[in-house]
Chains A and B, each alone.
Chain A
Amino acid sequence: MLHEQELKTFVDGTTNFFEVAAQQPASIGSPYLMEGAPTVHEYTGVINISGKREGVVYFTAPKAMLTVLLMKMQENDFSHETMRDLVGEVANTISGNARRDFGHDFVISVPSVLTGERPDIPQKPGLRSFIIPINWRSHSAKLVVSLT
């Protein structure tokens, strides 16, 4: 289960991603805890965590938000494959940055990407999820952190 300071690592990582990669800060809502898996958007990038902690970290966002994010990153390919690539890269970046605080034994997988609003996200039974709401421009997304 995450401590408050550990949760802050992911909030800071999310803040930093939008400030640097999108050059426009996101507004991060108050994180909240929930049982089971939350609803997701059209594209979800999932990172499996192993080593000293186990679980998943995933970034889920609607296509409209990803399209604007790609524009801000000077991309001109807005295909389905590029959307998949982007959600995976966001999840990878935020999870990888978390090693600054969690250390080398916080092992992250390569991203797997799920599409659609009812994907089957692997989750350890009994593990609760922290939801970090992300508001950027007129769009909403979530970072979900579910760790032992």
Chain B
Amino acid sequence: MVNNKAVRAKRGLKLMIVDDSNIMRRRIERSQQFEELELVGTAGNGEEAIELFKRTDPDVVTMDLTMPRMDGIECIGRLVAMKPAVRILVISALADKATAVEAMERGANGFLNKPFTDRQLNEAIEELMR
């Protein structure tokens, strides 16, 4: 019998979660869709994210925008410059269109507004992984 979860895990994609809230990091980590990814670490701001990115080379990143020290918009640009193929899902409370456009122009691949349901999170991740 084929274990679907094991098959999915063989994709071997690595995940990094960036958010200044511990609650949000744990919430995203619990997402069912992320079971297929290997969590390589979490970061609480853009500077930490860049350091972690260099050490762990993730394939998929969830990125908050409003964070201390270095915000998510700047961080996205830096991560994409290091690895253009990285897939980035922005998860932010900032709900204006201009911010979403700016994030996508910097290299993000998806945008999910907080607050979100589990279903919305899973759908956004599924879309990101296509």
Contact = CB atoms under 8 A, between A and B. Distances in A.
A93 B93 contact: yes
User: Secondary structure of the B side of the interface?
Assistant: loop
A97 B68 contact: no
Contacts of B33: none
B115 A110 contact: no
A46 interface: no
B51 to A, nearest CB: 19
Given A20-B116, A97-B113, A73 B95 contact: no
Contact of B115 (A16, A75, A77, A95): A16
B23 A85 contact: yes
Contacts of B27: 73-74
Contacts of B93: 92-97
Interface residues of B, number: 23
Contact of A104 (B30, B66, B96): B96
Interface residues on A, range: 20 to 34
Contacts of A81: 22
Nearest to B25: A85
B24 interface: yes
Interface string B83-109: 000000000111110110000000000
A85 B22 contact: yes
Nearest to A104: B98
Contact of A74 (B20, B21, B30, B99): B30
A20 B94 contact: no
A85 B21 contact: yes
A96 B98 contact: no
A3 interface: no
Given A95-B93, A96-B92, A110 B67 contact: yes
B95 A97 contact: yes
B115 A103 contact: no
A122 B117 CA distance: 33
Interface of A: 16-17, 20-21, 23, 70, 73-75, 77, 81-82, 85-86, 88-89, 92-100, 102-104, 106, 108-110
